[in-house]
């Protein structure tokens, strides 16, 4: 099993499962919604290509123990609502553990990003994967910044990451 993933965990409303190729079609609407990528430069314009690039990276992370996104399913159904997980990233030359989250547009503004991010934080600290977690958030992405703040994070610094100006939010144990 890959390291730093929350497979078979759950929160109040969500089940955390391994992302599989079968989730591709259900995740594609994320990339078809222009607002999903409005803050991040450098993504493929074609939704299928963008989704494939994301899935390739998810499986690469699994295979190389770099953490990974979990598929988030509503309890009591087989409905995919988002992706969230702990990812090993390199920011300004330093290895960091990041909580990353994305929610399908039809489930925005329902608290799923916070619920999933909070669970990732609790597990990462409980299992002692790290003493510090970050979230990398584009400087204009106010909704994701609010999620990070609600999760107890503070704005640590601002930098450029993959040609995007980003805020690094952090929480320590």
At residue 36, the 3 state secondary structure works out as helix
Q: Could you say which DSSP state residue 109 is in?
A: T
Residue 125 confidence (pLDDT) above 90: yes
Q: d(Cα 44, Cα 115) in Å, to the nearest integer?
A: 29
The pLDDT value recorded for residue 169 is 98
In sequence order, the 6+-apart residues with CB closer than 8 A to the CB of 55 are 19, 21, 24, 27
Q: Assess whether pLDDT exceeds 90 at residue 27.
A: yes
Strand, helix or coil for residue 23 = helix
Which whole number is the average pLDDT over 142-166? 95
The alpha carbon of 123 is separated from its chain's Cα centroid by a whole number of angstroms, namely: 15
- pTM for the structure as a whole: 0.93
Residue 1 pLDDT level (bands cut at 50, 70, 90): low
Q: Residue 48 above 90 pLDDT?
A: yes
Helix pair 47-63, 24-32: axis angle to 10 deg: 130
Pairing of strands 94-103, 80-91: antiparallel
Q: How far apart, in whole angstroms, are the C-alpha atoms of residue 47 and residue 32?
A: 5
- What domains can be seen in the chain, in order of their start residue? 9-130 (3.40.630.30)
- Assess whether pLDDT exceeds 70 at residue 157: yes
Mean pLDDT value of segment 39-49: 84
Whole-number Å distance between alpha carbons of 69 and 57? 10
What is the DSSP-derived secondary structure letter of residue 105?
G
Count other C-beta atoms under 10 Å from residue 3's C-beta.
15
SS3 of residue 70 by DSSP: strand
Query: pLDDT digits over 49-106, tens only?
Result: 999 999 999 999 999 999 999 999 999 988 999 999 999 999 999 999 999 999 999 9
Q: What is the mean pLDDT of the chain?
A: 94
14 touches 74 (CB < 8 A): yes
Does residue 50 contact residue 38 with C-beta atoms inside 8 Å? no
Q: How confident is the model at residue 40 (pLDDT cuts 50, 70, 90)?
A: confident
pLDDT at 5 over 80: yes
Q: How does residue 36 score in pLDDT terms, banded at 50, 70 and 90?
A: confident
């Amino acid at each position: 099993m890959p390291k730093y993933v929350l497979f078979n965990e759950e929160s109040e409303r969500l089940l955390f499962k391994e992302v599989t190729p079968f989730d591709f079609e259900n995740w594609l609407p994320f990339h078809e919604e222009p607002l999903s990528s409005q803050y991040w430069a450098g993504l493929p314009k074609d939704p299928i290509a963008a989704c494939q690039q994301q899935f390739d990276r998810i499986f690469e992370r699994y295979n190389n123990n770099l953490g990974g996104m979990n598929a988030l399913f509503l309890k009591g159904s087989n409905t995919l609502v988002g992706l969230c997980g702990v990812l090993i990233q390199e920011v300004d030359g330093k290895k960091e553990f990041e909580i990353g989250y994305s929610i399908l547009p039809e489930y925005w503004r329902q608290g799923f990003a916070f619920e999933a991010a909070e669970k990732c934080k609790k597990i990462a600290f409980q299992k002692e994967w790290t003493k510090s977690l970050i979230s990398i958030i584009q400087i204009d992405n106010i909704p994701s910044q609010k999620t990070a703040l609600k999760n107890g994070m503070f704005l640590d610094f601002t930098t450029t990451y993959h040609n995007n100006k980003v805020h690094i939010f952090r929480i320590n144990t």
